[in-house]
Each structure stands twice: as C-alpha cells, then as structure tokens.
C-alpha cells in the first residue's frame, strides 16, 4: 500500500467509523474529530449522487417496485455519466439527479442492463464541480477487506464495512451474478450506493440487503454489491445498445429452491412461460432432460447455446409423471415498457 493510499484509507475509515462508534456515547468528541477529517473525504463522497425516478402506473414493474423510486448513483466521468442499480430506473418516464439539498438536474436513461443488474444515466445539465469517482479493480477484493459503503449524503451517509464473502448470487427473477460482493454490517440505503476502496476508487454498486451475507456457523446480514469489474466488461454494449448483447433467453417465471427442486412461484403476465402452459406450483426437474437442482443451474442450462427467441424444453413434475413443456423464450427488453431508445 502506498503512503498516499494508506493516508486516504485512514481518513475515510476514521470519519465514518467515528460517526458510528462515538456519536451516541460522546457526541461532542465525535463532532470535533469528524470536522478535522471531513475535508479530506468529502470530495470523493460528493460523487455519490441521489437518484429519483418516476415510473408510469402502466409499467410492468410498477406493482412490486413502485412508481416513485429513490436511491443513489455514482458519477464516473466528466460528461455526467452516472452508474446506479438498474431497478431504480427500469421503465422510468423521468429521472433526476440530486446534487445536494438545493440542486437537482434531470437525467437521461442511457442503459438498463438485466444481465449485470446495473443502469446508466447521463446528466442533462451541469453537475457543477463534482469530480467523478475513479473505477477500481474489484477482482482483488477478498473476504476480510475493509471498505466504505456510501449512499448520497456525504460523510454522514457513509459507513465502514467488511467484505465477508465473494460468491455467485442467483435471483428468482432470472438473474445470475458471478462473484458478487457481500459486505457487513448492512447499510440501510443500499440501492445504488457506492462501495469505496482505500484509495477512493469505486469497487461496487449496491443492490440488495441480504440475511446471509456470510454463511457459516453464524449467519450474518449485510449487503450484496455488483462488482465494478462487471460494469467495465459491459460498458461498451451499454453505451452502444442500452444493454448487454445479445439478450439472453427470457422465460418469464419466478422460482424458489425447494429440497433440490425448483418451485414455480409466479409467472410474468403475458410472458413466455405463461403462454407455454407452465403453472404456479409446478416443480421443475430439468432442462432438455438435464437435471437441475438450483436456480443457478437452471439458468445456465436454459441459457446455454441459446438466444432470445429459442425454444427451451423444460421438464416439469405434474402428478405422478414428468411433462416436457417447450417454452419459446423471448427478449425481456421487449416485454418491459422501456424507453424506445434503449
């Protein structure tokens, strides 16, 4: 570690650590200590902006993600490009960036990427003298590493955290993230929050609060982050096409792992699985006669050597027998009511 990076790290962890550890017991002491260090970290944390999105009532996701969504995003270049978590801006009719308590600027949705879970915005107007946050290297971030989780609001909204695990994450909404970052303790304002490294570099974007950030004898809650390396790998497609290409096959089903089988909990309205005849309560045994026992395995089998529009043969247990249901997959981006420019 360089002297410069060590100094930054000490300052950053000092200011957020004091805010958490001392503010209740010794509020006067905490305030004096914070003021001495605040000027060193505020320019970095200023790059974490607020994100507010308005979603039409007619959006596919309005009923379960809401029509007024708020979180954070991180300024990553000098032309107003902001990375955030995708669900905040998915199907948005309008978005604004919150610079501080008095200033907001409208933003254009540049990309919504289901594969990574990320979204990109572009400020329509000046963000003033806010400096972008540098993209770091998340591949070297290992369990036990120190970091800071920062939502919009400067040092007061930043909290120290530990990386407690690196593992794949499978979501019931047909989402699979390789090598997700899990941190603890949990930050309550995680959506689009920045995971900041010791030199003030961006290492991840906040996605979820989870009850099992660390899986061991003692289950530890925390947050899940999309690694910044995932953004770096996809950013060319995101800027050019609005999402990763080619789009993966989408089935339109929401599953739950149950004793080595997948239970269909819900079907997307007017989605491919519903059209093919899959039903809530079906147990999925395999894909094209290849058994699956987890969501991650199911997704890999369904996506392997297939593109959106291809048929995915799904083996389902019904009654005492197994039925094969051929689901003609589709492009999720066409089903969502996104900006036509994406």
Q: Is the pLDDT confidence value at 28 over 70?
A: no
How far from chain centre, in Å, is Cα 145?
20
pTM for the predicted model, two decimal places: 0.89
Contacting residues for 58 by C-beta, under 8 A, at least 6 apart: 337
Instruction: For the chain, give every domain's residue range.
Output: 40-242, 253-335
Q: What digits encode the pLDDT tens for the residues 214-256?
A: 988 888 999 999 999 999 999 999 999 999 999 999 999 999 9
Cα gap 231→177, rounded to integer Å: 12
98/244 Cα distance (integer angstroms): 27
CATH of domain 253-335: 2.30.42.10
Identify the sign of the CA torsion 334, 338, 341, 342: negative
- For the cut 50, the answer to whether the pLDDT of residue 299 exceeds it is yes
Task: Compute CA distances 219 → 188, 211, 338, whole Å.
Answer: 18, 7, 38
**CATH code 1.20.1530.20 for 40-242:** no
Express each pLDDT in 184-213 by its tens digit.
999 999 999 999 998 899 999 999 999 999
């Amino acid at each position: 570690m360089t002297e410069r990076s060590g100094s930054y790290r000490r300052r950053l962890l000092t200011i957020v650590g004091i805010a958490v550890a001392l503010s209740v017991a010794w509020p006067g002491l905490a305030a004096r200590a914070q003021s001495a260090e605040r000027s060193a970290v505020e320019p970095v944390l200023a790059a974490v902006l607020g994100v507010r999105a308005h979603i039409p009532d007619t959006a596919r996701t309005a009923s379960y993600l809401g029509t007024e969504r708020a979180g954070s995003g991180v300024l990553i270049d000098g032309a107003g490009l902001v990375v955030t978590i995708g669900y905040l801006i998915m199907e948005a009719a309008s978005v604004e960036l919150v610079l501080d308590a008095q200033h907001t600027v409208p933003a254009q949705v540049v990309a919504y990427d289901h594969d990574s879970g990320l979204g990109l915005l572009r400020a329509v107007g000046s963000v003033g003298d806010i400096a972008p946050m540098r993209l770091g290297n998340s591949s070297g971030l290992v369990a036990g590493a120190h970091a800071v989780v920062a939502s919009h609001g400067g040092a007061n909204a930043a909290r120290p955290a530990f990386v407690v695990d690196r593992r794949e994450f499978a979501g019931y909404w047909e989402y699979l993230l390789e090598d997700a970052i899990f941190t603890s303790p949990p930050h309550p304002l995680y959506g689009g929050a920045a995971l900041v490294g010791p030199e003030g570099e961006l290492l991840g974007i906040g996605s979820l609060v989870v009850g099992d950030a660390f899986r061991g004898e003692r289950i530890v809650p925390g947050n899940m982050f999309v690694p910044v390396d995932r953004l770096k790998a996809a950013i060319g497609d995101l800027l050019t096409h609005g999402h990763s290409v080619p789009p993966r096959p989408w089935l339109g089903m929401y599953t739950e792992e149950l004793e080595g089988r997948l239970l269909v909990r819900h079907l997307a309205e007017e989605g491919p699985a519903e059209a093919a005849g899959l039903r809530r309560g079906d147990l999925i045994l395999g894909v094209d006669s290849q058994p699956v026992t987890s969501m991650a395995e199911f997704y890999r089998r369904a996506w392997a050597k297939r593109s959106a529009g291809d048929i995915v043969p799904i083996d389902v247990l019904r009654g005492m027998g197994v039925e094969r249901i051929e689901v003609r997959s589709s492009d999720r981006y066409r089903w969502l009511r996104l900006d036509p420019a994406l």
